[in-house]
Structure 1
């Protein structure tokens, strides 16, 4: 893989004391920046791949930061209020840099397409939120909708690619979005504060016993762990991740040219590496305890 500098370039915009101290930024969208960069290098002559990858990662970071803004209305201390304010401001700041970077290079069409994609992502988020508020959502539909939201911005870059690469781009973006969605759900299985309205929550609401559904509504400490174990949510999640990882690998291997296929496959492996390392560590600990 060629020299890749997007996280370093993004550091110019993300490395601020106040933001790092109070905003609690989401993870940098490295996999999608890498994927966009390598596709543009192979299939978009004349397009500055680093510029597009940097701008797209900043606007994604802005949207993800806004998604972390706490909307609850109860009173909070000074630190919590400052954190909320900094998240709003940081999200706005990252998004503004996206527009500044593209406008400065004359990429007005890309701004238009991505602005439309942002509007669509927000529309999909609103639809999902309303369904969740009404309790009308199945676990698979939840994953499907979250994946669509995650894929919208990247799909907007298809217009920059050669026609021969657009079908492969569409398929690999869908696969990446599903992987990212599942990886985001992993933390919710282990964190009671994040379990509400997660995939695990909707699985229990859809398939669980009546008394367990009432436990979810009560949301007391310890209920989430008990329900995760009772319904085997961790194993179900791992199976889904394995299926989607295989799907991503197969789609990557089908890409032409072969050099692009290798880079796409490496991105999938990089995305899954922390999960595989954690699984290996857990397996090793279990073997030591049995001795």
Structure 2
């Protein structure tokens, strides 16, 4: 990663940190975790799609905060009768998620990014439908492979939507659609710490890796490819 690229990444992370850590929120949930890997993928994708630097900053900050809000909401369990302390904590996670989401709206509205806001809101609706379907079916999945197939349509959803938005005037879909789907589900599997116990699971990961490499090869900028390959190596559940 070049020094200029690192400086830009640090600027984005500092901006997210400043917006996501008001004192009262830290008292409620502690210091929120910024998804640095997500930010790095987002930053590289926007660069590859030739989004102007200032506009890329706006979307990198806003969409990461939206992702953080989605993660907070996902932490709320569906237990119908949680213990009082657990119920209070769930309420706090909902409020924290709402707070992050509200800053996403605020940031895009502040910079008159109304088209992007509307586009992403539609994407969020589709993602939430997929999440509900996923959670309702989770206990009935026949295998981890089936679960991962569903997860790959969810984990990179915000990035896919953003890639579509900034590539809307082109006749062919951007390779980034496939890149982020495969990359983010692989990272999800790695972060879960799952221990592979069937050949089918290992084969699925290898297949996802192959699809990811094929999509990466379609990118034109060799420097972007090099930086993306670093991210791919970091995301792989095993080498």
Give the shorter-chain TM-score range. 0.7 to 0.9
Q: 1:45 to 1:244 in 2, by over 3 A?
A: closer
1:166 is displaced (CA, Å) by 4.2
1:246 is displaced (CA, Å) by 5.1
Whose Rg is larger? 1
> What's the secondary structure of 2:154's corresponding residue?
helix
Q: Please give the alpha-carbon distance, in whole angstroms, between the structure 2 residues aligned to 1:141 and 1:26.
A: 31
Q: Indicate the structure with greater helix content.
A: 1
Q: Does structure 2 conserve the Cα–Cα contact (< 8 Å) formed by 1:33 and 1:56?
A: no
Q: Please give the alpha-carbon distance, in whole angstroms, between the structure 1 residues aligned to 2:155 and 2:93.
A: 20
Q: Please give the alpha-carbon distance, in whole angstroms, between the structure 2 residues aligned to 1:141 and 1:92.
A: 31
Q: 1:108 to 1:255 in 2, by over 3 A?
A: same
Q: Please give the alpha-carbon distance, in whole angstroms, between the structure 2 residues aligned to 1:127 and 1:173.
A: 21
**Alignment partner, residue 33 of structure 1:** 39
Please give the per-residue CA displacement for 1:233-259, whole angstroms capped at 9, x wherever unaligned. Answer: 6x8656644553454345334421111
Q: Please give the alpha-carbon distance, in whole angstroms, between the structure 2 residues aligned to 1:271 and 1:237.
A: 16
- C-alpha RMSD over aligned residues: 3.0
1:54 is displaced (CA, Å) by 1.1
Stretches of structure 2 that go unaligned for 5 or more consecutive residues are none
Q: Does structure 2 conserve the Cα–Cα contact (< 8 Å) formed by 1:150 and 1:181?
A: yes
1:53 is displaced (CA, Å) by 1.1
- Determine whether 1:142 maps to 2:147: yes
Q: Please give the alpha-carbon distance, in whole angstroms, between the structure 1 residues aligned to 2:145 and 2:221.
A: 34
**Alignment partner, residue 261 of structure 1:** 225
**Alignment partner, residue 103 of structure 1:** 109
| Aligned residue pair count | 230
TM-score, normalization: structure 1?
A: 0.67
Q: Please give the alpha-carbon distance, in whole angstroms, between the structure 2 residues aligned to 1:130 and 1:39.
A: 32
Q: Does structure 1 conserve the Cα–Cα contact (< 8 Å) formed by 2:141 and 2:147?
A: no
Which of the residues 249, 252, 269 maps onto 2:216?
A: 252
Please give the per-residue CA displacement for 1:92-151, whole angstroms capped at 9, x wherever unaligned. Answer: 000010010001111101101100010001101111222236x36543222111110122
Stretches of structure 1 that go unaligned for 5 or more consecutive residues are 190-227, 280-291
Which of the residues 183, 187, 190 maps onto 1:183?
A: 190
